[in-house]
Structure formats: C-alpha cells, structure tokens
Structure 1
Amino acid sequence: MSTPLELVALVSASRTVVGWTEAAERLWGYSAEEAMNRPVDHLLMAGGDSGCASAMEQSRTWSGTVELRQPDGRGRTMELRVSPFSVGEAAGDWFVWEAGPIEPPALSSPDAVVPKALFDHAPMGALVLDRDLRCIWSNQAINEMDFIPGGPQPGRRITELLPGGGAEALEAEMRRVFESGAPSLDQEWIPPAVAGETGKPPLSLSLFPLDESDGRARGVCLMAVDTGESGSRRRLELLAEAGTRIGSTLDVMRTAQELADTAVPALADFVTVELADTVIPDEEPLGRLDASNVSVPAFYRGGMASVHPGVPEALWQRGMPVFVPPTSPYTGVRDSGQSHFEPVIDTSPGTWRDNDPDRARVVRQFGLHSLMIVPLRARGVLLGIASFVRGENPAPFSRDDLRLAEGLAARASLSLDNARRYSRERTAALALQRDLLPHQLQSGQAVEVASRYLPADTRDGVGGDWFDAIPMRHDRVALVVGDVAGHGINAAATMGRVRMVVNTLTNLELPPDQVLRRLDEVVVGLARDRPEDEFTTPIVGATCVYVVYDPATRRCTMASAGHPPPAIVTPDGDVAFADVPVGAPVGVGLGDFRSIETRLPEGSLIALYTDGLVETRADDMDHGLDRLRAALTAPAGALEDLATAIIDNVPAPGQAEDDMALLLARTLTPTPRGRP
C-alpha cells in the first residue's frame, strides 16, 4: 500500500549524506550530527535496499520498500523514493531521498513540500512551484544566484519574473516535467545581461516533479547550481577534445565534418561548416554559378551535425553550394572576418530573413532561437564560416559560448589550411609525376615489357621511383629502374630530371658503366645547384640499375649504382640474380661502376625492381628476394598477369614502407635486319 512520503535526505554522488531533516531523525533515530557525511550504506540493513544502490549507480529514479537501520541495530520497513538531480559537471548527480510513513502534507504549506531543514543551507538554489507553475517557496541560495532579479515572488509565474528571452521555453519544460513525471537534468541557463555589467556565470537547472501520496503530481521543484567553474572546465575539455578529433586526416571535407561533430551537442544543437571554393579546388568556382538579387552562392557545404537524426534542419547537403542573401550575417562574416553573435534570433519583419524564406521556415519549424556565426581563418586566408544554432537547449548563447566557438574554429582552421596546402601540393606532385613517368613504354622489337608503380602511401601517390625502356640503334633496348631518395613533389621533380639525363646519355650509345659514371657527375651538379638553408639540404642521391639488351647477339650488359640485382629467368624456369658489382649510389661522386655481360636464351625474362618490393625494416632483403624468386618461377603466362602477381604477392604483409617500381622484359626472337 502506498504511503505518503516526505523528503528526508540529500545524498551526494559519492553516496554520502549531505542533508538531513527532522523527518529523517524521526524515521531513523539518528540526529543530523550523527548522519551528516556518513555513507548511506550504513543507514540501510544489509541486503535491504531492494535496488536502491543500483538506481543510484545508474542515476535514475527508483521507489520501493527498504529496511532502515536504526541506532540499536534493528530494522524498520519503510517506503523510499530516490530521485536524481544534477548539480553541474563539477559534482555530478545528487539524490533526493523521500521516505514514509507520514500524514499527507497540505500543499499550501511550503515547509511540508520541501522541508526547510533540507535546503535552507544547501549550496544549490531551490524553487518550488505549484500545479499552475506559480512560485510557492524558495531558499536563500537561489536569491543569491542572480537567477531571478529581485528574487522569486510567491504567486508569480516564471514568465512574469524572468526578463528577456528563454522564460517561455523554461516554463514549457516545467510543464513537460509536471505532466510526464520525467525529470529534466542539467540544462544550462545564461542569466540575462544587464547594461553596464559583465556577463554573469551560467547556471545548471534541474527540474523534477513533486508527487502526492497517490502518485499525482502536486508541483515542480527547480534546482539551480552555479556552474561558472564547471563551465570553464567544460570549455577547456571541449577544446582539448577538439585537438584530438579535428584534423585527424588531411582531407578538408572530413575536417569540416569533425568540427561539426565536436560541437554537437556539447555547444550547439545544429552546426554547419561552409567552405570557400578555394579550399575545394575540384569544385566549380562559385562565381560561375547562377545568382539572383536575393540569393548568391557563397560557400560549399563541408560539414553539418544536429541533435536530430538525419540533420533535418539542413537546406543543403555536404558538397553542395550554399546560397545566402547578398546582405546577411553569412556574407557579413565572410567579408569582415568578424563573428556574428545573435543570442536571441530576431524573427520580426524587416530583417534580412525576409529575403530568405527557406531559412525563416527552418527557424520556425525547429524552434531555433540563438545563433553564432564565426569565420574560419588561418594565416590571413578566409577558409569559410561555421554556424552554431540552438533550438532544443532553451538557454541562449553567451559570450563565453562565442569565445568557445571561436576557439574551436581557430583549431579547425589550422587543420583546414594544412589540408588545403597538402591537397594543392599533392595535386601538383601527381600532375608532375604523371608527366615525368613514361605513359607508354617503347621497347622496340627486342623485348616485350610490362611495368608497375605502387607508392608507399597510396593516398599521396607520389614518390621518386622510376622505370623506363629506351629504344636504341640496331634494335637494342636500354632498360632502367631507379629510386630517388625521398617522397613528395621534390622527389618527383628530382626523379624527372634524373630520368631525362638517363635518356640523353642513352642516345650517346655509352656502355652501362659509363652511363652511370656520367649520371653520377650530373647528379652531383644538381645537388650543387640546389639552395642550402635551414630547411633544405643539397644532398641528392639515387640508386639505379641500367641494362642494355642486344637481340642480335642476345647479349645483356648490366651495371648497378647501389641498386638490387636484376633477376634473370630462363625459358625453363630457372631464376638467378645477376652478380652485378654494386657501385655507390649516383650523386655520391665516387664514379666507381663496372659492367658485366651475359648471354640470354631466347624467351628469357629480365626483372628490374626497386628495394621497396623486397625489403622493409622488419623483413630483410634476402626474404624478399626469396619471395620474388618464387613468384618468377610460376608457370609462364601473359607478362601483365605476372607483373600483377608479383606486386600482389612479393611485398611483405602490412603497410608498404617504400615506393615500389617493377619492370619486366621478355626477350623476343629478333627480326632479321632489312626484313619487314
């Protein structure tokens, strides 16, 4: 049978008694001095809490029968109800304990609803409202919080006491709590600013229903906690989180989305991140898109997030151009580089929203009431803007919120600029490498060739490895594979210069060792021509293997500059690695290179490759050469298929650590000279 309940204790998140009433003294037999700061487990019989502890751990409301432990050790069966309420981030959830039996109190007596002994000296503010949501009682703490100017007045509604916007939303939330019986915890409230005063610290408001003994709601209790210090900690934590979440990749679209995801719901209910067209070079320039007198394309949508699934507030999806009125806060922030702060959105006629009916409709539909727009700027370049909007959260944005949004935007801007610069350099490097590597190998009638190039970083796609097949006089062919030190645009540029030098030297009909000696001299000169400062080094180095095959004599002449040996596969499947003297890499200046010559049967296979194919830090070259040997002994088939099989099976498992280049050449039966 249900019994009337009376508030008896206030329990902290650490399950310690921090408030004790006269009703508790009657029920337990302990005085306030004996109960205060005591673990609540000592106040209940062992095994007699019937789920109370579990409810407190999960921070949920619970009611049921318990066995109270009295001072003489005897138990007493009582009905207990535990209700959580938030006191801000610094302290977590606390709990109100109500216990019976007592006679049902009259609602007209404030002390019967909320015992003064419980809340008069509590650190949080307390305000009790009746069924009509009119104030009937408050404690001293709430009068000192600047929550209600002049303090609560009995018989007045919250909308009659609070100035500025937000009071209607707060009263609507009180009505929801009263009717549903579900508490509302830790809602941020920004006290309205007063002219001439600095911004006041935010408050954390929690609402929970007060029930009659028969379960019917009889009022609402509001708890207010000054969260100025915890709010500062929350802002610092969010900025720290932004440092790890924003900029995890060098992709501008993903970085924009990470900013939106970080800010929702911690700061705003709806966030969009718009990017300038210069940040997304692959998109159509905005100036080429159609515009009108009331709508111009100003940005591309980079990211968006909402407390509502599917982001229904969004008028444009990611990657789409965003249109705004020519005169609006969006263009104002873009042109001035200054933030727009609108704690209470002005929906009255005569504003810029008259020319933006779609946005006005979204504001009305989702109850959006507070707006901030901040620029995304780094190194003097405007990269876009970020918009922060509140709708579900009834508290308007504060100046502290604006500073937090600007801090998030500053961190995101640096990541966006790094991604923009990276994308620009990568695009240039890819274009350079595509122009510098052979588009189609010209091997003449001496050999059939197949090639592969695989960068270590498939995202970057740029390195210093190269390969070439250069036709020579008398149907001979030069086969070359090399590896310039480094990655990125500098390595690609150096590779292009070295490759052109090799092509020029090949036209001189020099033996392989002489080609490498001349190449060494040229590369030393390239290093000397490079500027040396604190950011660059004049050292330029490359390994290279140079092979000349003469189909008339079937002679193959080879020389190596610090490069892995060529593999020779005979028609019967035997694989041998040529015993080529390994000279120093070109660019060192030693010039000590020697050629060897061998005679190949018709249908032999020559495999040239870079060390990235057969060597990693965790796997030495001998193991890689064994894997290459096994791949080359596979049954003969199409050369392209063999090249694919080698790239798929020879590298060590895991992420490649170096670029890979492969050149396969199968000798052909020579065509007699003078015959077509």
Structure 2
Amino acid sequence: MGTPSIHFSESPEDPFALGRGASAVLDDRGTVVGWSGRAQELLGYSAKEVIGRPWRDLLVDSRDLPVARSAVVDAVKAGGWFGVVPVRHRDGRRLEMGFRARTVTREGGGQEWLLVGAPAAEVIAWQRDRALLDGLYRRSPIGLVTYDPDRRVIRVNRAVAKASGVPAEAPVGHRPREFMVDEDAGPADDRVRHVLETGEPLIFTEQSARARHEPGRERIVSVSAFRMEDPSGRVLGVAETIEDVTDRHRAQRRLAMLNEASARIGTSLDVRQTARELADVAVQGLADHCSVDLLKPVTLGDEPSPDATGPLLRTALSPSEHRIPYRVGDVVPLLPESAQARCLAERRPVLERLLSLRPEWYAMDRRRIELALGLGVHSLIAVPLIARGIVLGVVSLWRSRNSEPFEDGDTTVAQELSSRAAVCIDNARRFTQQQNTALTLQRSLLPSALSDLPAVEVACRYLPASGEPGLGGDWFDVIPLSGARVALVVGDVVGHGIHAAASMGRLRAAARTLASLDLEPDEVVARLDDLVSLLAGELEANADDNPSAIEQVLGATCLYAVYDPVSQRCSLARAGHPAPVVSTPAGEVTVLDLPAGPPLGLGGLPFETYELDLPEGSLLTLYTNGLLEAGVGDVDTALDHLRACLAGTTEPLERICHAVVEALLPKGHLPTDDVALLIARTRVLRPQNVASWELPLEATSAARARELTTAKLDEWGLAELAFTTELVASELVTNTYRYAAGPVTLRLIRTDTLICEVSDTSHTSPHLRRALSTDEGGRGLFLVAQLTERWGTRYTHDGKTVWTEQPLPAA
C-alpha cells in the first residue's frame, strides 16, 4: 500500500495533528488495514487485533450502526467527511469520537480511506477556540492588532479598521504610526518595541491618540499589549488591544469640574481633604496652579513644633496633571532663599516674580524647576498656614504665561484664604488626633479574633462612627464558659470619644469577670448595673474634670446570653438593649419578647432571665441600635430588612453579615453611630459525645466513677487520659460523699477538650488549699488543679457543679 499524500493541520491545539490524533486505514470493503499506536491508546485494541477485520463488526455497537452507515454514505458521496461518531472501546464502553475521513489512491489503482480521530471533547474545545479567534477579529468591539517581530502589522480586526478609518487589510505590513499617531505616550511602535524587547505586558495604559483620517480629534484609548511566544520560547510578535475610552475620560473630567465648583473648605474633619479643598478653591479664581505642603506631624494628627521645623509633605496639588515640581506625597525640601522658606521663617506671605526666580537657589533640584519654568510659570505667592499661633505648613500659588502676574492685592486675598483654611486644617488635625487615640484604645479593648467554639459558630462586624461626633462605645464579646457553654454579649455606652471607649473597656472587662463566675444572665446584668452605679459615683466626685463622663456611663445598655449545646437551652437578660433576633432552620424569624429592663446604672426595675430552646442551626443575632438607625428609613423598616436577611440560616455566616450590612447601611451613607453586629449559629453536642451517670451517695461511688470513666474513655479512644480522668472523677466524687448531700451526677463531655463534671445538691464551695506534710488529707483539689488545665465551680438552683477541663491528646 502506498503512503498517502494527505497533510492535515499540525498546530499544537489541533486534535487531529500527527502524534495527537488516532489514525486508521480502511480498504474499499471496510476492512482495517492500518492502525496507529495512538488508536490503540484511545480505543484499547492493538494492531494485531484489528487489522484484517471489518470496522463495523469491531468498532461500532449494533445500536450505533445506523449512524455509522449514514456517515459512510456521506463520506462516499463527498469524497471525504468530518463529524462525531460513537465507537466501541475494547472494554465495551461507548466513546464519542470526532473523525476526519479522506480517500487515498493506492499505487496500482484502487482506493483506501484514511481516518484520523480524537475524543469528541477535544474536538469541540478546538472548534470553540477557533470560533473565539474568529469572534475577536470579526465581532469584538475592542480593537485588536497583532505585530510580527519586525513591529509590522500582521492583522487588525474590524474595530481597529473602523476607528482608524482604513480598510482592515490596508495596515498589514505597515508600522502603526502610518495609520495611528499617539500624542502623549510616544509612537505606538515604540510601545510595541518595549513589549518585544522586555516581555513586560502593558495593562490598561490610557493615553491620547489621533487617527490619520481625523488628526484634529483627540481620543483617549486604553491599551494593553503582551508578547506572543511559541512553546520553545521563540518570539512571534505582539498582540495589542485598543479600547476607545474617550467618553468615559471626558465624563470623569466633567464630574471633577462639578465637584470642584461645589467644594468648600472645611466640609470634613480630614486633614488631606481640607487641603485638597483649599487647592481646588484657589485654582477656581485666583491661581492657575496651587500646592499645599504641610508639616509631617500635621498630616498624622500631631501638633508640630513651635519653630516650624521638620519636613514638608506635599498634601494637595491642583490641577493634578501639571508639572509643578514635586507630586502629592513627596517630601518638599525647604531650599535656602526660596519663597516657601522665607514665608515660614518670617510668618508672612512672599510674592516672587519671574526675574527673582533664580535657578541657582534650586541647584539641588534644578531639573524640576526648569520644567516649571518651561510651562511659563512667571510668578508665585507663598503663604504660611498659621492657626492658634502655630505654623502648619505653606500654600504655594502659581500663575503661568496665560494669566496676569500676581499683584499685592492678590497677596491679601491669598492670605485671607489661607487663614481660614488653616483653622479648618487645625480642627481636622485635632479631630484626627482624638479619633486615632480613641480608635486605638477601642480596638485594643475589643476581641481581636473570635475562636471556633463547640457551642456556636460566630461572625461579627464592628463599624466605627464616621461622623463628627467621633468614635462611640459599642462593644461585643464571645466568652467560653464551663460545660462547653458560651456567653454572647453586646453592649452600648452612651456618647462618643475617648471617654466612651474607656467606659466600654471597663464594662467589657467586668462582663468577662462576671461570666467566669458562671452566674445566671440576670445576675450578671444586675452586677453590671451595680458596677455602673459605683463608677457614676466616682465620676460625680470628679465632675469638674469631666462632666460628660457621668452621662456616658449612666444609661449604657447590655444584652447577655448563655447557650448550652448539650441541652440546647439559651438564657438571656438585657438592660435597655434592643431585643435579639432568632432565626430557626424552619425559616421562622422572631424578635424575642424578653423583658427589657432599665439601662445600666438607672435602677428601679429588676432584671429577668428569659429562656428558650434553640434547634441546631438556629441563628441568634445580637446588635446595637446603630445598626437600625444607620439607614435613611425608620427603625421598623430597618428591622424588616434585618429579618429578611436572616431568613436563610444555611448561608455562610460571613455572607449573612455582609448582606445585613449592605441592606441596612446604604452605600455612601456614613453611620453617625457605632455599629456592632454579632451572629451566632448554634451547634449541638451529639449524644455520643456526652455521657452522664447518677451515682448514689455512698462509699463505693468513687470506685464506680473510676470504672465508668475508664470504660467511656476507652470507647472514645482516649485511653491516654484514663488515668488522669479517673483520678479527677474519684477525687471529686469522694469530696461530694464527704461534704455534700443527695445524689451525685457524673458527666463527661468530649469537645475540643475533655470536660469532667460532678454535680450535687450542696451549695458549699470547695476550696483549694495546700496540705502540710503531716496532714493525712486535703490534697484532693490540689491534685485536681495540677492534673487539669482548668477547673472551677458553678452554682445552679439545685446545687453546684465542680468541673475540670483537659486538653485532648494530639491526633
């Protein structure tokens, strides 16, 4: 049989390329006479198994025979064929294969068929890539140009042809400058040369450009380019996308002009913003260019030194596109004899005209000064920014050749403008200083990270107030308790500023201390109320020093909740705080109607505990009033939005938190009060992780406790802890037998730690003491404390529980 002279495409992506496609040869009767190694890999048949056998009996399932016959008929009629046919693998599987079939003339006469096949998925992907390439050149609205290594155009798409005003085939073989001219960033072929030589891509580079057929029309284009290479690393050329963003660029400039026209100095308590407002106002009617340079401590919110020494930072520059020396953020040196240096030293405005702008004064940075002179800058006014007798910085006003030189009257106006701006900048500096101090204090007092607890999964948001009142006193906490329980706390201190943050820190520390005592929620809130009353009394004695501190402590609100993952019981108490929201897996969203209680420190009404059962996967949402009052609507509407966001309890908590903030805090609307949000999804400890036994109050109970403990730890695979735990359980049960009354309950809980609890009906608290060497007893609790990581006592209505915790051994 002669060698066929057919040549298929051999691009690396072509599934029919030699080495990638499976090939076979059939004679005119359909018998396999040729079989490649790739065909054996794809279909499982070796050449020995298939050569000499009819293709339809070997490779086609009986149910697919009509489809295969139809393909053969089409191939015979057309002299060739391309399509997808199901074939049979050697192991019986059906494979979708794409095939190309061509007739081959044998030496000596007769015909054969050459088939090249590939998996249908590869064929479809290849066709998709070809369709994508076709779309980029024929349908894409973004321009596409490809260059060869000589920087000559290979091909342009229709978008470039339309924008340049020349047919798509006209630029082929030409340099880009022959049909498009760049204005600001240099010729386009320089850009292509840079990408070719360095391999560094250009990404969304905006620049001015003019088409040859419209030289009077300036366009702003966004250009991205990358170098094309083959698998061996050989450079094939450059591909460049060009998008006309002229309309977008002009819209941005118009919007900036409108913002500048409506801007006023001192609309915010931000140093940099106030400096920008000053620069913008100055260029609206007084100068062509304006720069504001502040002493570095001022930009950080600190007070500068009285002698106005230290580096100057360029804080604002308007208009931003001109080439006045030094950009925003640069350090501006005070060069000797410069107008800026003299105005700061003499604390008065200094007017300089062209003849006195001597370049030798600026020998340290002559290039930038010559750039400014090249723009035609002919005069400047340097005015010091002074407030409360303290120099904050300097304002420089520049005029170029298109304006009249500055006069003495302009100096008076500039001085008045700078004096008013200096007061605003100083106010913003002092506010920044107070905000930084309060924010640092508050963030140091809030929990830095929320750990994953066996009882709940938690997510939170804390958003400080953005308005002029300053930082508030909202706070939250997640406190692990004994018995795998958890306490969730949210509170709100009245007022703003450092004193509110300090009061918040006191309340949070007190809440953590009271929580460690395992008190009931109403008791915790009641003792916080007593603490606030004591703090108010102390502050009242020093009311002359801080009269507002009393108001910030009195009237604080708090919500305290405890959840038990074993009993699924949740207990809550609140002091004037917004009621929490509970969402169940069944889709019910309820605002809990628990007793409100008075705010902390006011007294008059008792606090009550509200209890309810929470199914596994329920959401308990705690928040401060800033969340409901942050939006533009009323509180009821905000509460409806909150309920709607909390309806999907199966969503990830972080996504729910984000949805709540997005729904209740509209974009662009800055909250005037702090916002604290805490969402907890309840978990349940499985029965197999909890073991509980009731033991009689008799001498054999300690031995029985050891037996039960050892057996359960063996079952849990915690035999390493058996010796320690049985000793702990034995000592606690023995103490109960000696000093308590009523039945004894022993409980083991396996979470990320091993918890051992012994409960009885006595309210007598055990005390740790160190026994003397001559004492026969008194070492039980000492041993328990030494052998466990933590231990303690909590009281219930029916008695007390002594508990211990031990870390689990490493897996």
With the length of structure 2 as denominator, give the TM-score of the two structures: 0.47
Instruction: Give the drift of 1:269.
Output: 3.5
Identity %: 44
Instruction: Give the drift of 1:375.
Output: 0.8
Instruction: Give the drift of 1:562.
Output: 0.8
Instruction: Give the drift of 1:586.
Output: 0.7
Instruction: Give the drift of 1:502.
Output: 0.8
Judge conservation of contact 1:619–1:652 (CA < 8 Å) in 2: no
Q: Which position in structure 2 is the counterpart of 1:318?
A: 328
Whole-angstrom CA distance in 2 between matches of 1:300 and 1:523:
46
User: For residues 408 and 461 of structure 1, do their structure 2 counterparts lie closer, same or farther at Cα, with a shift above 3 Å needed?
Assistant: closer
Whole-angstrom CA distance in 1 between matches of 2:294 and 2:684:
60
| 1:594 aligned partner, one-letter code | E
- For residues 203-243 of structure 1, what are the alpha-carbon distances to aligned partners after superposition, in whole Å with 9 as ceiling and x for unaligned? xxxxxxxxxxxxxxxxxxxxxxxxxxxxxxxxxxxxxx999
User: For residues 480 and 326 of structure 1, do their structure 2 counterparts lie closer, same or farther at Cα, with a shift above 3 Å needed?
Assistant: same
Equivalent residue for 2:296, pick from 271, 277, 289: 277
- For residues 64-117 of structure 1, what are the alpha-carbon distances to aligned partners after superposition, in whole Å with 9 as ceiling and x for unaligned? xxxxxxxxxxxxxxxxxxxxxxxxxxxxxxxxxxxxxxxxxxxxxxxxxxxxxx
Judge conservation of contact 1:426–1:460 (CA < 8 Å) in 2: no
Judge conservation of contact 2:301–2:429 (CA < 8 Å) in 1: no
Q: Which position in structure 2 is the counterpart of 1:664?
A: 679
Q: Which position in structure 2 is the counterpart of 1:417?
A: 426
Is 1:579–2:598 an aligned residue pair? Answer: no
Whole-angstrom CA distance in 1 between matches of 2:630 and 2:376:
59
Whole-angstrom CA distance in 2 between matches of 1:600 and 1:632:
15
Aligned runs of 1:264-343 on 2, under 5 Å?
264=283, 266-281=285-300, 298-305=311-318, 310-312=321-323, 314-342=324-352
Judge conservation of contact 2:296–2:310 (CA < 8 Å) in 1: no
Is 1:401–2:415 an aligned residue pair? Answer: no
Instruction: Give the drift of 1:458.
Output: 8.2
User: For residues 453 and 304 of structure 1, do their structure 2 counterparts lie closer, same or farther at Cα, with a shift above 3 Å needed?
Assistant: closer
Judge conservation of contact 1:516–1:591 (CA < 8 Å) in 2: no
Equivalent residue for 1:510, pick from 506, 509, 519: 519
Whole-angstrom CA distance in 2 between matches of 1:446 and 1:592:
29
| 1:586 aligned partner, one-letter code | L
Judge conservation of contact 2:395–2:418 (CA < 8 Å) in 1: yes
Whole-angstrom CA distance in 1 between matches of 2:372 and 2:617:
76
Aligned runs of 1:35-184 on 2, under 5 Å?
none
Aligned with 2:459: secondary structure?
strand
Q: Which position in structure 2 is the counterpart of 1:603?
A: 617
Whole-angstrom CA distance in 2 between matches of 1:340 and 1:646:
55
Whole-angstrom CA distance in 1 between matches of 2:610 and 2:267:
51
| 1:457 aligned partner, one-letter code | S
Q: Which position in structure 1 is the counterpart of 2:477?
A: 468
| 1:310 aligned partner, one-letter code | E
| 2:271 aligned partner, one-letter code | V
Q: Is the deviation greater in 559-568 or in 261-270?
A: 261-270
Whole-angstrom CA distance in 2 between matches of 1:555 and 1:363:
74
| 2:316 aligned partner, one-letter code | G
- For residues 599-629 of structure 1, what are the alpha-carbon distances to aligned partners after superposition, in whole Å with 9 as ceiling and x for unaligned? 3333333222222333569744444333333
Whole-angstrom CA distance in 2 between matches of 1:484 and 1:345:
63
Equivalent residue for 1:625, pick from 625, 639, 647: 639
Q: Which position in structure 2 is the counterpart of 1:565?
A: 579
Whole-angstrom CA distance in 2 between matches of 1:347 and 1:603:
75
| 2:276 aligned partner, one-letter code | Q
User: For residues 360 and 319 of structure 1, do their structure 2 counterparts lie closer, same or farther at Cα, with a shift above 3 Å needed?
Assistant: closer
Aligned with 1:317: secondary structure?
coil
Is 1:594–2:608 an aligned residue pair? Answer: yes
- For residues 144-170 of structure 1, what are the alpha-carbon distances to aligned partners after superposition, in whole Å with 9 as ceiling and x for unaligned? xxxxxxxxxxxxxxxxxxxxxxxxxxx
Whole-angstrom CA distance in 2 between matches of 1:243 and 1:650:
29
Aligned with 1:586: secondary structure?
coil
Instruction: Give the drift of 1:410.
Output: 0.5
Whole-angstrom CA distance in 2 between matches of 1:363 and 1:628:
57
Q: Which position in structure 1 is the counterpart of 2:442?
A: 433
Aligned with 1:557: secondary structure?
strand
Aligned with 1:268: secondary structure?
coil
Is 1:638–2:652 an aligned residue pair? Answer: yes
| 1:319 aligned partner, one-letter code | G
Judge conservation of contact 1:561–1:593 (CA < 8 Å) in 2: yes
Judge conservation of contact 2:584–2:617 (CA < 8 Å) in 1: yes
Aligned with 1:263: secondary structure?
helix
Judge conservation of contact 2:631–2:638 (CA < 8 Å) in 1: no
Aligned with 2:317: secondary structure?
strand
Is 1:254–2:273 an aligned residue pair? Answer: yes
Task: Report 1 or 2 for greater relative contact order, CA contacts < 8 Å, sequence distance ≥ 6.
Answer: 1
Judge conservation of contact 1:297–1:321 (CA < 8 Å) in 2: no
Whole-angstrom CA distance in 2 between matches of 1:268 and 1:280:
24
Equivalent residue for 1:381, pick from 366, 386, 390: 390
Cα RMSD of the aligned pairs, angstroms, is 3.5
Judge conservation of contact 2:351–2:380 (CA < 8 Å) in 1: yes
Aligned with 1:597: secondary structure?
strand
Instruction: Give the drift of 1:449.
Output: 1.6
User: For residues 657 and 431 of structure 1, do their structure 2 counterparts lie closer, same or farther at Cα, with a shift above 3 Å needed?
Assistant: closer
Instruction: Give the drift of 1:438.
Output: 0.8
Aligned with 2:616: secondary structure?
coil
Unmatched 5+ stretches in structure 1: 1-240, 287-295
User: For residues 316 and 600 of structure 1, do their structure 2 counterparts lie closer, same or farther at Cα, with a shift above 3 Å needed?
Assistant: same
| 2:439 aligned partner, one-letter code | L
Instruction: Give the drift of 1:651.
Output: 5.7
Instruction: Give the drift of 1:303.
Output: 2.2
Q: Which position in structure 2 is the counterpart of 1:494?
A: 503
- For residues 375-395 of structure 1, what are the alpha-carbon distances to aligned partners after superposition, in whole Å with 9 as ceiling and x for unaligned? 111123211111233443675
Is 1:556–2:570 an aligned residue pair? Answer: yes
| 1:365 aligned partner, one-letter code | G
Whole-angstrom CA distance in 2 between matches of 1:627 and 1:242:
37
| 1:320 aligned partner, one-letter code | D
Q: Which position in structure 2 is the counterpart of 1:29?
A: none
Judge conservation of contact 2:490–2:558 (CA < 8 Å) in 1: yes
Judge conservation of contact 2:585–2:649 (CA < 8 Å) in 1: no
Instruction: Give the drift of 1:369.
Output: 3.9
Aligned with 1:279: secondary structure?
helix
Equivalent residue for 2:489, pick from 464, 469, 480: 480
Unmatched 5+ stretches in structure 2: 1-259, 691-747, 755-811
- For residues 423-456 of structure 1, what are the alpha-carbon distances to aligned partners after superposition, in whole Å with 9 as ceiling and x for unaligned? 2222222222221111122463222222222345
Whole-angstrom CA distance in 1 between matches of 2:660 and 2:363:
65
Aligned with 1:579: secondary structure?
coil
Judge conservation of contact 2:470–2:496 (CA < 8 Å) in 1: no
Whole-angstrom CA distance in 1 between matches of 2:411 and 2:477:
58
Whole-angstrom CA distance in 2 between matches of 1:428 and 1:411:
26
With the length of structure 1 as denominator, give the TM-score of the two structures: 0.56
User: For residues 302 and 657 of structure 1, do their structure 2 counterparts lie closer, same or farther at Cα, with a shift above 3 Å needed?
Assistant: closer
Judge conservation of contact 1:543–1:563 (CA < 8 Å) in 2: yes
User: For residues 364 and 578 of structure 1, do their structure 2 counterparts lie closer, same or farther at Cα, with a shift above 3 Å needed?
Assistant: closer
Judge conservation of contact 2:301–2:433 (CA < 8 Å) in 1: no
